[in-house]
Amino acid sequence: MYIIKMTYPFDLIIRIIVAAVLTVIFGNGSVVAFNNIKPEWFADYPDQEDINKDARVNVENKKTKKPKKVLPPKLIEADSEGRQRLPSTPWKYAFVGYFGIVGLYLAIRGGSVEYMIYVMCVLFVLLLMAISDALYMIVPDQFSIALALMSVAFAGYHETWWEPLAGAGIGLALSLSILGLGLLVYKTGSIGGADIKFFTCMGLIGGRGGIVIIFVLTTLIFAMHSVIRISTGRATIKDSLAMLPSGCVACTIYFLFLWNMWELWFL
pLDDT exceeds cutoff 90 at 262: no
Distance of CA 3 to the CA centre of its chain: 48
- Domain edges within the chain: 10-266
Structure confidence by residue, pLDDT tens digits, 102-125: 999 999 998 899 999 999 999 999
pLDDT tens string 140-193? 999 999 999 999 999 999 989 999 999 999 999 999 999 888 788 766 667 889
Which of helix, strand or coil describes residue 248? helix
What integer pLDDT is reported at residue 47 of this predicted model? Answer: 66
Write down the pLDDT at residue 59. Answer: 46
pLDDT (mean) for 31-60: 73
pLDDT over 90 at 72, yes or no:
yes
Sign (positive or negative) of CA dihedral 66, 79, 40, 30: negative
What pLDDT sits at residue 52? 52
Task: Say whether pLDDT at 51 is over 70.
Answer: no
Q: CA distances (Å), 264 to each of 31, 209, 212, 259, 260, in order? A: 37, 10, 14, 10, 7
Q: How far apart are the first and last CA of the chain?
A: 53
Residue 185: per-residue pLDDT: 74
What contacts 121, CB < 8 A, 6 or more positions away?
150
Residue-wise pLDDT for 206-216, tens only, equals 999 999 999 99
The CA-based angle 214-148-22, given to 5 degrees, is: 80
Distance from C-alpha of 165 to C-alpha of 123, rounded to nearest angstrom = 21
Q: What is the pLDDT of residue 236?
A: 82
What predicted TM-score, i.e. pTM, was given to this entire model?
A: 0.89
